[in-house]
Amino acid sequence: MTKTARFDVTRKAALLAAATPLALMLGAAPAFAQTTAQTPAQLEIKDQQTDPTTTQGASDQDKASDIVVTGSLFRRTDTETPSPVTVLTSDTLAKAGITTASDAIRSISADSAGSIGTGFQSGFSAGGSAVSLRGLGVSSTLVLIDGLRSANFPLNDDGHNAYVDLNSIPFSLVDRIEVLKDGASSTYGADAIGGVVNVILKKHFTGIDGLVEGGVAERGDASHQRAQLTLGYGDYDRQGFNVYLNGEYQRDGRVSNHSRGFPYNTQDLTPIGGLDNNASDQSLTVNVPTAYVTRVRQTDLNNPLAGQVGAPLTTRYDALGLANCARDTFAVTTGSAQGTGCKYDLVDLYRQIQPLQERYSLQGRVSVRIADNVEGYITGSYSRSDVSINGTPSAIRNTQPFGGAPSVASNNPGIVLPVYICAAGTNCATAANRQLNPNNPYAAAFANDPTNGAARIYYLFGDIPGGSDRKNEVYRATAGLNGNFGDGRYNWRVEGVYARDEIQLTQRGLINIAGLAQAINTGAYNFVNPSQNSAAVRNAISPNKVTPSFSTQAALDASLSARLADLPGGPLQLAIGGQVRRETLENNNQNAALDTYGLSTASAFGSHTVSAAYFEADAPILDQVELNVSGRYDHYSEGFSHFSPKVGVKFTPIKELAIRGTYAEGFRAPTFAESGPRSQYAGFVSTTPPCNFILQHGGTGTAASCSANGNPYNLNYNLGRGLAGNPNLQPEISRSFTGGVIFQPVRWLSLTVDYYNVRKKNLIVTGPDFGKAVAAYYNSANLAAAQTAVAGVGQGYSVNTTDAVDPLFPNALPRVLIINVPYVNANYALTSGIDFSATATVPLGDGIKFTSRIEATHVIKYNLVTSAGVQHYAGTMGPYDLSSGNGTPSWRGNWQNTLDFGDYSLSATAFYVSRIKAVSEDQGLPLDCANGNLYTRSSPQNEAFCYVSPFINVDLNGTVKVNDKFTFFLNVKNVFDAKAPVAPAAYSSAPNFLTTWHYAGLIGRQYRAGASFRF
What is the C-alpha to C-alpha distance for residues 850 and 900, in angstroms, rounded to an integer?
7
Residue 522 has pLDDT above 50, yes or no: yes
Is the distance from CB of 533 to CB of 463 less than 8 angstroms? Answer: yes
Average pLDDT over residues 952-965: 95
What is the maximum span of the chain, computed from C-alpha positions, in angstroms?
A: 103
Quickly state the pLDDT bin for 16 (edges 50, 70, 90): very low
Per-residue model confidence as pLDDT tens digits over 562-615 = 999 999 999 999 999 999 999 999 999 999 998 999 888 889 999 999 999 999
What is the C-alpha to C-alpha distance for residues 643 and 728, in angstroms, rounded to an integer?
20
What is the C-alpha to C-alpha distance for residues 735 and 676, in angstroms, rounded to an integer?
26
Per-residue model confidence as pLDDT tens digits over 974-1015 = 999 999 999 999 987 889 999 999 999 999 999 999 999 999
What is residue 703's predicted lDDT score, i.e. its pLDDT?
Answer: 86
Q: What is the mean pLDDT of the chain?
A: 89
Is the distance from CB of 96 to CB of 955 less than 8 angstroms? Answer: yes
Lowest mean pLDDT among 150-159, 400-409, 449-458, 754-763: 400-409
Residue 372 CA, distance from chain mean position: 46
Quickly state the pLDDT bin for 374 (edges 50, 70, 90): very high
Per-residue model confidence as pLDDT tens digits over 300-325 = 999 999 888 778 899 999 999 999 99
Residue 7 has pLDDT above 50, yes or no: no
Residue 255 CA, distance from chain mean position: 18
Per-residue model confidence as pLDDT tens digits over 622-669 = 999 999 999 999 999 999 999 999 999 999 999 999 999 999 999 999
Share of the chain above pLDDT 90, in %: 73
Q: What is the pTM of this model?
A: 0.88
**Read out DSSP for 836-904?**
EEEEEEEEEETTEEEEEEEEEEEEEEEEEEETTEEEE-TTBS-STTSTT-----SEEEEEEEEEEETTE
What is the C-alpha to C-alpha distance for residues 134 and 144, in angstroms, rounded to an integer?
17
Quickly state the pLDDT bin for 810 (edges 50, 70, 90): confident
Lowest mean pLDDT among 144-148, 683-687, 805-809, 882-886: 683-687
Per-residue model confidence as pLDDT tens digits over 826-870 = 889 999 999 999 999 999 988 899 999 899 999 999 999 988 889
What is the C-alpha to C-alpha distance for residues 412 and 406, in angstroms, rounded to an integer?
7
Quickly state the pLDDT bin for 76 (edges 50, 70, 90): low
CA distances from 419 to 229, 404, 520 (A): 65, 28, 11
Average pLDDT over residues 340-369: 96
CB atoms within 10 A of CB 489: 13
Burial 142-163 (b: 16+ CB within 10 A, else e): bbbbbbbbbbbbbbbbbbbbbb
Return all residues near 606 (Cβ < 8 A) that are at least 6 apart.
Answer: 584, 585, 672, 675, 676, 679
Residue 27 DSSP SS3: coil
